[in-house]
Structure 1
């Protein structure tokens, strides 16, 4: 290696850093607000240097004008933000499941700071979001992110057209699948709440003088959390399988 970099090498490094830095800005775990920006920028720089020999051949040549350079940089940043937003949006499945569980266990009013969403949310929703992020790193799913970065240069080539229509369709389908998955993950609590509320209403009709609410409220919390705890393993397994399938969409580009 030479002790200096040519203009073409600096240009290639800037393009790679633009896309990878934008992706890491949105990735679960790495792109959270509580992670220091210096750590994220350092990680983006290291990953860019590591992937440089692999994807340098797919990059366009150095433009002759400053406007052309700015256009390419902005394009790569937009592509990176689109990919990162797609991977992050699937985490809304756990947020949806947490809100539904909180509603069914009468714990929706117990709001807490959710570090994954930078806004208050239900305690169960915050717990599931943290669980999902932990599962991503515990199962080495974050390794798929690195492979997906390489695959993204096959799916969305820098010298090719920006497929905004295809991405919009994929984003809409991903958000819809995430919402459906959230409802499916909370299905045990929905079934429990239906049976429990029907039983409480039946007791209230049979025994009008009995204070059903005072007996049903603590039982709803106790039994609901018990059902939630029993189904937690299945929730984590199903979510991480679906999330790995989404990440493999970009990894497939590397394999192709």
Structure 2
């Protein structure tokens, strides 16, 4: 009975993490594959996850199960924040360039997604697999059972402060990522405004939209190596923040 309870709690934390995790929580990944992966990680984690006292009370059992689900969701959410940051950067670019009118339904997120946001997201996901960071993500999940035993999840003021700082860093990352294309679009708007003042006969609106679209795409191709280098440096921080969050749990 103890082994069944212990394995169930481990399975709940891992499954909750994989539901929201950016790498394994994709909508395109079959649910059967997620369940099999979670069960496999449970079998691997079971010998190194320590021990627990059997729970005979149904209320305590439900409480511990709910805490494990919440803790798994919290870890997955923290690992997702870097991907949210690149999505925010794409929405900033789309708004300035004019692609916000062309937003389409993205079945991956089940929301209306921006064009550059999807492009940056898939670039980030590609770099995760190229640099083998998904292995570190799994290692951090497995280590969480050693650092935070089953049922021992208590948020402190330090943990909450760290999460708030992480939100600020995500928005800072989004600004850094979107700045080159946003600034170039603003410069084009200024030049077109000056041109419309000088030559009123020119239809600036009809000329501005394709110009901003083409120049933004050219700028994206020019800064692509720098963008990939920036993402390569920033992506490991999501795993670092997740591990720091785990270690900050008393």
Same fold (TM over 0.5): yes
Structure 1 unaligned residues grouped into runs of 5+: 1-6
Tell me, in whole angstroms, the C-alpha distance in 1 between the residues paired with 2:116 and 2:162.
Answer: 28
The two structures, once aligned, show a CA RMSD in angstroms of 2.2
Task: Tell me which residue corresponds to 2:53.
Answer: 61
Deviation at 1:107, TM superposition (A): 1.6
Deviation at 1:153, TM superposition (A): 3.1
Deviation at 1:236, TM superposition (A): 3.1
Task: Tell me which residue corresponds to 2:14.
Answer: 20
Structure 2 unaligned residues grouped into runs of 5+: none
Deviation at 1:98, TM superposition (A): 0.8
1:52 corresponds, among 41, 46, 66, to 46
Matched, 1:102 2:94: yes
Task: Tell me which residue corresponds to 2:234.
Answer: 242
The within-5 A match list for 1:71-220 is 71-158=63-150, 160-163=152-155, 165-220=157-212
Contact 1:90 1:174 in 2 (8 A): no
Task: Tell me which residue corresponds to 2:32.
Answer: 38
DSSP 3-state at the match of 1:113 = strand
Contact 1:150 1:251 in 2 (8 A): no
Contact 2:105 2:112 in 1 (8 A): yes
User: CA 1:165/1:60 → structure 2, altered by over 3 Å: closer, same or farther?
Assistant: farther
- Which stretches of structure 1, 4 residues or more, deviate above 6 A after TM superposition? none
Tell me, in whole angstroms, the C-alpha distance in 1 between the residues paired with 2:162 and 2:109.
Answer: 22
Tell me, in whole angstroms, the C-alpha distance in 2 between the residues paired with 1:132 and 1:170.
Answer: 23
Deviation at 1:251, TM superposition (A): 4.4
Q: 1:48-78, CA deviations, whole angstroms, 9 ceiling, x for partnerless residues?
A: 11122222x1x42212323222222111111
Deviation at 1:118, TM superposition (A): 0.9
Tell me, in whole angstroms, the C-alpha distance in 2 between the residues paired with 1:45 and 1:26.
Answer: 17
Tell me, in whole angstroms, the C-alpha distance in 2 between the residues paired with 1:13 and 1:177.
Answer: 36
Which moved further from structure 2: 140-149 or 86-95?
Answer: 86-95
Q: TM-score, normalised by structure 2?
A: 0.88
Contact 1:90 1:175 in 2 (8 A): no
DSSP 3-state at the match of 1:109 = helix
Tell me, in whole angstroms, the C-alpha distance in 1 between the residues paired with 2:186 and 2:112.
Answer: 27
Q: TM-score, normalised by structure 1?
A: 0.86
Contact 2:64 2:151 in 1 (8 A): no
For these two proteins, the number of residue pairs brought into alignment is 246
Matched, 1:230 2:214: no
Tell me, in whole angstroms, the C-alpha distance in 2 between the residues paired with 1:237 and 1:207.
Answer: 42
Tell me, in whole angstroms, the C-alpha distance in 1 between the residues paired with 2:154 and 2:207.
Answer: 59
DSSP 3-state at the match of 2:104 = strand
Deviation at 1:116, TM superposition (A): 3.2
Q: 1:17-44, CA deviations, whole angstroms, 9 ceiling, x for partnerless residues?
A: 1111111111113112232211111110
